[in-house]
């Protein structure tokens, strides 16, 4: 009898864990905040998401669903002297390339401008400035 109860409990927990995930809506963001630091990019079932936090010191975290038509432009994580922005054309592309490398290099927390369509995140734009590999050229005085 005890084994049956344990098995039933395990099945209930598994079904609960596979339930529909709750995501934040664009309206959940404080007014005027559309630039957030990306802390995590992941996948729940077939849905990709981004967990991000504002730089206002509130410690708030938001989780947004990525649209199937999601794309992003970002410098390569951890690359000093990055000159070119890289394009990511799908949630899977951004997750498997940018996030994997950012996590590996300890470069999470990069700030992006967020663009929504309804409550789905459709575009991220890296706000880091251009940084030439040899520094800015000196100006003649």
CA angle 9, 10, 15 (to 5 degrees): 100
In a domain, residue 54? The reply is: yes
How many folded domains does the chain comprise?
Answer: 1
Write out pLDDT tens, residues 45-66: 999 999 999 987 788 999 999 9
In a domain, residue 134? The reply is: no
What domain range is 94 assigned to? Answer: 21-126
In a domain, residue 108? The reply is: yes
pTM, two decimals, is: 0.74
In a domain, residue 14? The reply is: no
User: 7 versus 123: which is more confidently predicted?
Assistant: 123
In a domain, residue 73? The reply is: yes
Write out pLDDT tens, residues 81-133: 566 789 999 999 999 999 999 999 888 988 999 999 999 999 999 998 665 55
Considering all CA atoms of the chain, what is the largest pairwise distance in Å, rounded to the nearest integer? 87
User: 128 versus 11: which is more confidently predicted?
Assistant: 128
Residue 40's nearest CA partner among 54, 53, 59, 58 is: 53
């Amino acid at each position: 009898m005890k084994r049956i109860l344990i098995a039933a409990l395990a099945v209930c927990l598994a079904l609960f864990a596979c339930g529909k995930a709750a995501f934040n809506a664009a309206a959940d963001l404080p007014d005027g905040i559309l630039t957030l630091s990306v802390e995590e990019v992941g996948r729940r079932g077939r849905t990709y998401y981004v967990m991000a936090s504002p730089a206002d010191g509130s410690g708030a975290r938001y989780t947004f669903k990525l649209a199937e038509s999601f794309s992003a432009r970002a410098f390569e994580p951890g690359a000093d002297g990055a000159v070119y922005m890289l394009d990511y054309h799908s949630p899977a592309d951004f997750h498997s390339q940018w996030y994997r490398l950012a996590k590996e290099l300890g470069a999470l927390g990069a700030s992006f401008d967020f663009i929504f369509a309804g409550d789905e995140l459709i575009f991220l734009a890296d706000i880091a400035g251009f940084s030439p590999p040899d520094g800015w050229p000196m100006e003649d005085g």
